[in-house]
Structure 1
Amino acid sequence: MDKKQWAAEKKQFNDTSRYNDIMDRPRHVSRAHLPMPQIDRAGQFAPFAALTGYKELLDKTAKRYQNKTYLSREELAELTKQIKTLSKTKPWPLITVTYFNGQNGYYEQYSGQLVNVDWQRQRLRFRDGTSVIIRNLKEIVINKNKQ
């Protein structure tokens, strides 16, 4: 910070001459409201306490997701194309998917009969009620066995 900027800031923040007319006046005390107890004064800063533990939560989530590999745009487009083809296949095929489980932070495999592709919620739904998030998919293999 140069001298000129420092002098301007000092004048701006240390010059109290504008307030000389009220400096010696007594502090206003409301007749309508009781003063806030000193113990409650910290409560006005309580909204900032909502962020307590947020960094730890982010760190924990980041640690869970450190094993996830993200598909390239081309890989995702190929996977989407494969899902669109599967969704037109009747009866629905028996498939095995490799997907990232965000709850435990590892890749898992699941085999089941596909019954619905929910594009709005970006999920594959299976006959037993299981659903897998499309963005978490790594691979889809069509089982050649009869259902």
Structure 2
Amino acid sequence: MDKKQWEAEKKQFNDTSRYNDIMDVPRHVSKAHLPMPQIDRAGQFAPFAALTGYKELLDQTAKRYRNKDYLSHSQLLTLTKQIKKLSKIWPWPLVTVTYFNGQNGYYEQYTGQLVNVDWQRQRLRFRDGSSVVIRNLKRIAVKNG
């Protein structure tokens, strides 16, 4: 840092002349409100206390998702085309899907009658009310029966 820059910073941060009019004014003490207890004062400076445990939650989620095999773009396109073909079959087919369960961190199989493809929410919906997220699918096959 050169001398000119140092002088400018010194003047900017050490010049208190702008506050001369209030320097000797006594500190205001409210007559209407009691002073805040010292133990409560620290709370106003801890706005992120609500995030306590957030890192642990993220670590648990990461641990569950370490088993997930993410589909490539081409694999996802192939799966999407397959779902579009299945959605045109009437009556809706009985299918077996292999999908990643984000709750337990493992792949599971489910067999059920497909009744709806919710493209907006990216879910396959089945007759019994269950649904599977399309992005969590690994495989889908029509059940012969």
Shared topology, TM-score over 0.5?
A: yes
Q: Does structure 1 residue 127 correspond to structure 2 residue 127?
A: yes
- The root-mean-square deviation of aligned C-alpha atoms, in Å, is 1.9
Q: Residue type of the partner of 2:66? A: Q
Determine the C-alpha separation between the residues in 2 that align with 1:82 and 1:103. Answer: 26
In structure 2, do the counterparts of structure 1 residues 7 and 55 end up closer, same or farther at CA, with 3 Å as the change threshold?
A: farther
- Give the aligned partner of residue 110 of structure 2: 110
Determine the C-alpha separation between the residues in 1 that align with 2:5 and 2:81. Answer: 61
Determine the C-alpha separation between the residues in 2 that align with 1:6 and 1:75. Answer: 60
Q: Residue type of the partner of 2:129? A: G
Determine the C-alpha separation between the residues in 2 that align with 1:81 and 1:62. Answer: 30
Q: Residue type of the partner of 1:24? A: D
Report the TM-score when normalising by structure 2: 0.86
Determine the C-alpha separation between the residues in 2 that align with 1:105 and 1:9. Answer: 55
Q: Residue type of the partner of 2:130? A: T
Number of residue pairs matched?
Answer: 144
- Give the aligned partner of residue 69 of structure 1: 69
Instruction: Structure 1 unaligned segments of length 5 or more: list them.
Output: none
Shift of 1:5: 4.8
In structure 2, do the counterparts of structure 1 residues 68 and 7 end up closer, same or farther at CA, with 3 Å as the change threshold?
A: farther
Which segment is superposed worse, 7-16 or 107-116?
7-16
Fraction of identical pairs, as percent: 83
Report the TM-score when normalising by structure 1: 0.85
Determine the C-alpha separation between the residues in 1 that align with 2:5 and 2:59. Answer: 40
Shift of 1:28: 1.5
SS in 2 for 1:92: coil
Shift of 1:70: 1.5
Q: Residue type of the partner of 2:134? A: I
Determine the C-alpha separation between the residues in 1 that align with 2:6 and 2:63. Answer: 45
Shift of 1:46: 4.8
1:1-147 → structure 2 map (5 Å cutoff): 2-3=1-2, 5-143=5-143, 145-146=144-145
Instruction: Structure 2 unaligned segments of length 5 or more: list them.
Output: none
